[in-house]
Amino acid sequence: MQLRIENLSKSFGDLNVLIDLNYTFKKGNIYAILGKNGSGKTTLFNCISEEMEFDKGNIYLNNEIINHQDVGFVYTIPMLPEFLTGYEFLTFFADIHQDKGLNRDDVDSYFERIDFKEDDYHRLIKDYSTGMKNKLQMLCIILTKPKVLLLDEPLTSLDLVAAMNMKKELLKIKDDTIMILSTHILQIAKDISDKIVVLNKGKLIDVDETDENFEQTIMEILQDE
């Protein structure tokens, strides 16, 4: 399975964010897209997930135009129904995704996977910390096993233990999905990814991690305005 992007371009007025971008992502690897804030990482994800129209180009999943139903998107800012408790939401989520193998009887075990304290199950989501909301959001996307998984700055709000646990969850599913995460932090990219790609000047540039000077290469790319 592969995700193929061909000649993708997206502008906002006179600002060219993505410029004839071409790249192929393959199943079984975790890709980290590294770039400065404002480089277009989220814009690229919005185009892949069909949440944003692009100016030209095509995005294919296994030689067919991608369908948004094949994409799971973990947002930087969690989008959750804050008027529900975590337990109510996860139970509802399991009910509407029974076709994905989810079961409301397993909700407790789902919480355990992301190291939630039992006392927090029945608190309103609006009272959760940002890190807790991010864990809950990411869990839901992982449970549905999307063909393409987009993670926009996924670990920056998590504490060390939560980040390590989430990395383990991502590694469990990497062989069955095309996983792409964005970050502006090199250490996160190095810790979790199989392949680092730099987004600069509207294009994706491969970086060879086996090169002893690869960090310097990344800096040179990012400083090339």
pLDDT one-digit tens code per residue, 16-36: 999 999 999 999 889 999 888
pLDDT of 43 over the 60 cut: yes
Q: What is the pLDDT of residues 192-207, one digit of tens each?
A: 788 889 998 899 988 8
Q: Please give the model's pTM, rounded to 2 decimal places.
A: 0.85
Q: If we measure between CA atoms, which residue out of 172, 169, 101, 159 comes closest to residue 132?
A: 159
Interval 111-123 mean pLDDT:
89
Q: Which pLDDT score, from 0 to 100, does residue 148 have?
A: 93
Say what the pLDDT of residue 207 is.
Answer: 83
Question: Which of 90-94, 135-139, 218-222 shows the highest mean pLDDT?
Answer: 90-94
Pairwise pLDDT comparison (176 vs 164), residue with the higher score: 176
* CATH numbers and ranges of domains, the chain: 2-223 (3.40.50.300)
From residue 122, alpha-carbon distances to 77, 78, 96, 135, 167 in Å are 22, 18, 20, 16, 25
Query: 127-159, pLDDT tens digit by residue?
Result: 998 888 888 988 888 888 899 999 888 766 566
How many C-beta atoms surround the C-beta of residue 99 within 10 A? 7
Most confident stretch, 6-10, 66-70, 166-170, 212-216? 6-10
Name the 3-class secondary structure at 90: helix
* pLDDT value for 24: 95
Question: How far, CA to CA in Å, does 16 sit from each of 56, 202, 207?
Answer: 12, 7, 23
